[in-house]
Amino acid sequence: MATYPTLKLHVAGEWRSRPGAPVHNPLDDSVVGEVPHATKADLDDALAAAVEGQRAWRRTSPVKRQAIMRAAAQLIRERADAIADSITLEQGKPHAQAKIEAIRACDIIEWDAEEGRRAYGRVIPAEPGMRHIVLREPIGIVAGFAPWNFPISSPTRKVAGALAAGCAIILKASEETPAGAMHLVEAFVDAGVPKGALQLLYGVPSEISEYLIPQATVRLVTFTGSVPVGKRLAALAGQYMKPAIMELGGHAPVIVCDDIDVDAAAAVSATVKSRNAGQVCVAPTRFFVDDAVHDRFAAAMGEKAKAVKIGNGLDPATMMGPVANHRRVEAMERLVADAVSRGARVLAGGERVGNQGCLYPLTVLADVPDDALAMQEEPFGPLALISRTRSLDEAITKANSLPFGLAGYAFTNSAPRVEQLSDQLEVGNLSINHLVASIAETPFGGVKDSGYGREGGSEGLACYTVTKNVSHLVG
Ligand code: NAD
């Protein structure tokens, strides 16, 4: 029997209960819990405690910080089954995928913890008697805003990056999928993170972000979510001269060339598209398929998609759960209806399953015209769009035609094509012959409207530091 925790805020070293709003299971709309909403006094307490937490954490040696972070990761590993229960109940993804998400959070924490020990500066050669020393210092208190699609791994990106760099963080996690973040914070608290170094809030998102971001003690804003909200928060951060990490939407192109194993590429595409019901900012979405292999690729992907079993994420046979909320169902219905009205063909899915909850099947559309709404708006759901192209130049032009630039993918075995794709695709992460956009040690983030700053890799940690140059004239 899957269990769901009693949700609490974590402020100034205390777990606090507050009235709030119901949390729904997207499988059947049932209520699984109640998310507490922070009061203004909670926000003020969190800000005051963060100042103390920042001081204590910065003075904790990198080795000790790493030990606490590794201990938190170990607790998450031990609790992964219970964490996966919560995530499946609040967000819908299959239990096995939820568990993989929890383990991925551990990988991120462990890698960041190790890398935090290597925040080296440098010494710049100078004339005799002069020393120029470049120090990398923690930037200070971070305000982090995490979304609902990865309830534990998305907040982990922010928490692990901030803590590894020596920063305190106030995390405002998703109100729709709050338990993942609570498990994360609980593991750190149990592992011994000092009071105020990591705090957890939920509430009305705009009220919390508009209150926290202008505060003088908050030094960095990190947000994962939609482009419109990201632009609003980035503008607010800019108004108060705060740097920001913006990990926003994507609309990933997949360029399929004629020199590959078509069936294998179609199979992996259907599988990866089904993960998290397509609600992934790096989900493969616009498939630009060379004319020579188009028909075979489309047919194979349609067949693979039809075989994806959709249902209750707690059933081990389920391959794809519901989408996370009714907004996503409505978006799928609107985008599919629009594409079909413009001539797209439905190769798989295309209609909601049942009339309760948020089950929407893996849907593959072919002959999707460039002006279909789905080709421009991020579907953020189980929708794969196939379009025929006649050259690599044409595919790259179409891939680059949107304001998004997060992940991009290609299938080819030609070295010159790999070179051209690497050179010309406007994305932050390009994966060739596979569909994994990032791992803990690689920098992840976008260009254009997909945002700026990086999460993961040494570039990610650098975003949580500031550079200080110290010049010292001896004698
Ligand atoms: P939305 O634009 O209403 O919200 C996006 C996220 O921002 C949510 O987590 C929400 O709680 C948060 N948010 C909204 N207003 C905020 C504010 N003023 N201050 C702080 N946080 C705020 O969209 P939605 O319906 O929740 O999600 C759908 C869209 O969001 C998708 O189309 C997708 O583009 C984007 N999204 C992207 C990611 C990602 O990983 N980059 C994750 C989740 C959602």
ipTM of the complex: 0.97
* CB-ligand 1 contact for 226 (6 Å cutoff): yes
Question: 247 an active-site residue?
Answer: yes
- Among residues 149, 158, 411, 152, which one has the least CA distance to residue 262? 411
Alpha carbon distances (Å) from 388 to 190, 264, 302, 368, 397: 54, 19, 15, 9, 13
Residues of the chain with pLDDT under 70: none
Q: How far apart are CA 328 and CA 382, in angstroms?
A: 10
For ligand 1, the distance from its centroid to the CA atom of residue 223, given in whole angstroms, is 9
Tell me if 195 sits within 8 A of 52, measured CB to CB.
yes
For residue 282, give the DSSP letter. Answer: T
β-strand pairing of 122-124 with 31-36: unpaired
Question: Measuring from atom 42 of ligand 1, which residue has the nearest CA?
Answer: 225
Measured in whole angstroms, the distance separating CA 415 from the mean position of its chain's CA atoms is 31
* Neighbouring C-beta atoms of residue 403, cutoff 10 Å: 12
For ligand 1, the distance from its centroid to the CA atom of residue 414, given in whole angstroms, is 38
For residue 228, the model assigns a pLDDT of 98
Question: Measuring from atom 27 of ligand 1, which residue has the nearest CA?
Answer: 226
* CB-ligand 1 contact for 224 (6 Å cutoff): yes
Backbone φ and ψ of 79, nearest 5°? -100, 10
* CB-ligand 1 contact for 390 (6 Å cutoff): no
Q: How far apart are CA 102 and CA 81, in angstroms?
A: 9
* CB-ligand 1 contact for 444 (6 Å cutoff): no
Q: How far apart are CA 138 and CA 121, in angstroms?
A: 12
Ligand 1 atom with the smallest distance to the CA of 146 is 9
Catalytic entry in 247, 378, 426, 455 = 247
For residue 475, the model assigns a pLDDT of 73
Strands (DSSP E) found in 239-294: 244-247, 252-256, 284-290
Tell me if 229 sits within 8 A of 223, measured CB to CB.
yes
- Among residues 396, 379, 399, 387, which one has the least CA distance to residue 335? 379
For ligand 1, the distance from its centroid to the CA atom of residue 78, given in whole angstroms, is 30
Q: How far apart are CA 279 and CA 339, in angstroms?
A: 19
Question: Measuring from atom 43 of ligand 1, which residue has the nearest CA?
Answer: 225
For residue 474, the model assigns a pLDDT of 87
Alpha carbon distances (Å) from 417 to 117, 411, 414: 39, 10, 5
Question: 281 an active-site residue?
Answer: yes
What single-letter amino acid sits at 148?
Answer: W
Ligand 1 atom with the smallest distance to the CA of 154 is 40
Three-state DSSP class for residue 418: helix
Question: Measuring from atom 40 of ligand 1, which residue has the nearest CA?
Answer: 281
Pocket of ligand 1, candidates 202, 229, 251: which has the most ligand atoms within 8 Å of its Cβ, to mutate?
Answer: 229
Question: Measuring from atom 38 of ligand 1, which residue has the nearest CA?
Answer: 225
For residue 1, the model assigns a pLDDT of 85
Q: How far apart are CA 66 and CA 80, in angstroms?
A: 21
Q: How far apart are CA 317 and CA 323, in angstroms?
A: 17
* Neighbouring C-beta atoms of residue 309, cutoff 10 Å: 13
Catalytic entry in 106, 281, 358, 463 = 281
Ligand 1 atom with the smallest distance to the CA of 451 is 41
For ligand 1, the distance from its centroid to the CA atom of residue 374, given in whole angstroms, is 18
In 3-134, alpha helices (H): 40-58, 62-78, 80-91, 95-116
